[in-house]
Amino acid sequence: MDRELAYKFGDSVKEGSMKKILIADDHDLVRETIADYLRQQTDIEIETACSLDDALSIENRNGPYELVLLDYSMPEMDGLNGLTRMIAQTTGPVAILSGTAPTGVAQRALRMGAAGFVPKTLAPNALVAAVEHMIAGEIYVPEDVELQRGRGLSEVKLTPRETDVLRRLTDGMSNKEIARDLDIQEVTVKLHVKTLSRKLDARNRTHAAMLARDLDLC
Amino acid sequence: MDRELAYKFGDSVKEGSMKKILIADDHDLVRETIADYLRQQTDIEIETACSLDDALSIENRNGPYELVLLDYSMPEMDGLNGLTRMIAQTTGPVAILSGTAPTGVAQRALRMGAAGFVPKTLAPNALVAAVEHMIAGEIYVPEDVELQRGRGLSEVKLTPRETDVLRRLTDGMSNKEIARDLDIQEVTVKLHVKTLSRKLDARNRTHAAMLARDLDLC
DNA sequence: CATGTCCCTATGCAACCGGATAGGGAGGGC
DNA sequence: GCCCTCCCTATCCGGTTGCATAGGGACATG
């Protein structure tokens, strides 16, 4: 639905007026150099934000944009919840920009309605193509991510709730604390920890947390 | 000692010939956009590598460089061991480029002879200044990292045995497994876990393991 | 030698974790 | 409607963890 709007919007501005996109990343160096690169290579107007909240308020003030690019690990992103918030607020396409390019996240992002998944391992000129692709309303996913999707050792599919628990696990919270935080019973937390550990092939919560950090699952 | 050589070398080429630096990062997008930015803003010749081994062989072939910038999380880097390898090979200054900018790493890098620590949160123009600073033979450390250095929680001093335990903790091993592995009693492991958690200000073993990974203590 | 640090061990206990087992309810897909 | 997944809850129990207390031995430094 939002996607449909995005297509129409993208097409309507194509003739004549300036296209503009928003890039959000907390690494100034990365964000600004990428923005600069796009400014030179395209005639797209680039705006930048340094956190999700920053991006949301800028979008609210100056939006909508033809495309919003969100860094996956950025203040307030809270995993892919930040993606949901941005998609809910804006009418245009929203894509995820990720440094570590974890396999699971790409799928999940797309399932949640992302317009694409842009790993930072991408070649600069491929980025230009990707951005124009997404502005045109298409979904962009690089081949290697696509490939990793099928096979790969990390075809770990966690449910939203499991991800909630896992994220808190990586903060060193106890089952009791997690239960209070999520407003569920402690037994339920244990259930999630158990299934989650099985999915990750972890020996215990600590192992699960470390694997999660390594695979960048949260 | 190597530093001394670097100064002389840097000075000798200053008059006349082209200065060149090597940037190594596995994220094409980040590496190339940063390289491009530097090419425009300075008259420095920029070469790039996509892994440590790549950087080492390029340095071996085309080096030495006025500066080598190594991404902290890159294939073959193996923490700061990669830094040591590059410092051992080249005569010029070597600096660490880091996205996550964990407090402990900066100090350790400098102790190991790095010419600087460049977080990716740096503003692009500050990068130019930092690079020129380091080419001139100075040590570059941004203020915020410097500040975190004095106080902060990163003045954690673990005993060898605590480090042994911590390393196994980050592998998700249980007290019993650790005890068997180190050939000590389980109670002793508990002791180390307790003191180690106190030093790290961790709530439990999982938290300790995560903090250890973040601070790169093992 | 006295002090301090590090490493090890022991006992005991409360709290927590991990797992099994056994359900109920909400919602999507066919 | 039926099947499926996801989410939640409950009870029970053995194993693990966290912590306090109370030591001993090795070794270095002032």
Report the range out of A4-18, A80-94, A150-164, B186-200 with the highest average pLDDT: B186-200
Task: Classify burial at A38, counting beta carbons within 10 Å of its beta carbon; exposed 0-12, middle 13-18, buried 19 or more.
Answer: buried
A90: pLDDT confidence band, cut at 50, 70 and 90?
confident
CB contact at 8 A, A97 and A25: yes
Of A120, A171, A210, the CB nearest to B30: A120
A35: pLDDT confidence band, cut at 50, 70 and 90?
very high
Predicted confidence at residue B72, as pLDDT, reads 80
The structure tokens listed for B214 are 């973040």
CA–CA distance, B78 with B73 (Å, rounded to integer): 8
Predicted confidence at residue B160, as pLDDT, reads 81
The model's pTM is 0.55
Mean pLDDT, range A169-182, rounded to an integer: 90
- Return per-residue pLDDT of chain B as tens, 218 residues: 344 444 444 444 444 457 899 999 988 888 999 999 999 999 999 999 998 889 999 999 987 899 999 988 776 776 666 887 888 888 889 999 887 644 556 766 776 778 888 888 888 888 999 999 899 887 887 766 544 433 333 456 778 888 888 888 888 999 998 899 888 999 999 999 999 888 888 899 999 998 887 665 45
Of A124, A204, A211, the CB nearest to B33: A124
Question: B169 and A29 in contact by Cβ < 8 A?
Answer: no
Tell me the nt nearest to B189, Cα to C1': C8
Mean pLDDT, range A32-59, rounded to an integer: 92
Encode pLDDT of A118-140 as tens digits: 888 888 888 999 999 899 887 88
Question: B209 and A206 in contact by Cβ < 8 A?
Answer: yes
**Best interface-test mutation with A: which of B29, B98, B210 has the largest number of A CBs within 10 A?**
B29
The rounded percent of chain A whose pLDDT value lies above 90 is: 30
Predicted confidence at residue A214, as pLDDT, reads 66
Residue B112: other Cβ atoms inside 10 A: 14
Q: Which segment of A53-67, A98-112, A196-210, B129-143 scores lowest on mean pLDDT?
A: A98-112
Predicted confidence at residue B104, as pLDDT, reads 56
CB contact at 8 A, B145 and B187: no
Residue A24's DSSP bridge partners are A49, A70
CA–CA distance, B9 with B7 (Å, rounded to integer): 5
Q: Dihedral sign for Cα A84, A86, A91, A93, please.
A: negative
By the CB < 8 Å criterion, does B95 face chain A? no
E strand or H helix at A125: helix A124-135
Q: Is the pLDDT of residue A12 over 60?
A: no
Residue contacts between A and B (CB atoms, under 8 Å)? 112
Q: How far is CA B144 from the centre of its chain?
A: 16
Of A26, A33, A99, the CB nearest to B121: A26
Question: B170 and A204 in contact by Cβ < 8 A?
Answer: no
Predicted confidence at residue B111, as pLDDT, reads 65
By the CB < 8 Å criterion, does B121 face chain A? yes
Encode pLDDT of A63-75 as tens digits: 789 999 998 877 6
Which residues in chain B (175-194) have CB-CB distances under 8 A to chain A? none
Residue numbers in B near A212 (CB within 8 A): none
Q: Return the closest-CA partner of residue B36 out of A125, A117, A142.
A: A125
Question: B34 and A36 in contact by Cβ < 8 A?
Answer: no
Predicted confidence at residue B28, as pLDDT, reads 87
Predicted confidence at residue B48, as pLDDT, reads 95
How far apart are the CA of A34 and the nearest CA of chain B, in angstroms?
6
Residue B43: other Cβ atoms inside 10 A: 9
By the CB < 8 Å criterion, does A209 face chain B? yes
Residue numbers in B near A208 (CB within 8 A): 172
Q: Is the pLDDT of residue A11 over 50?
A: no
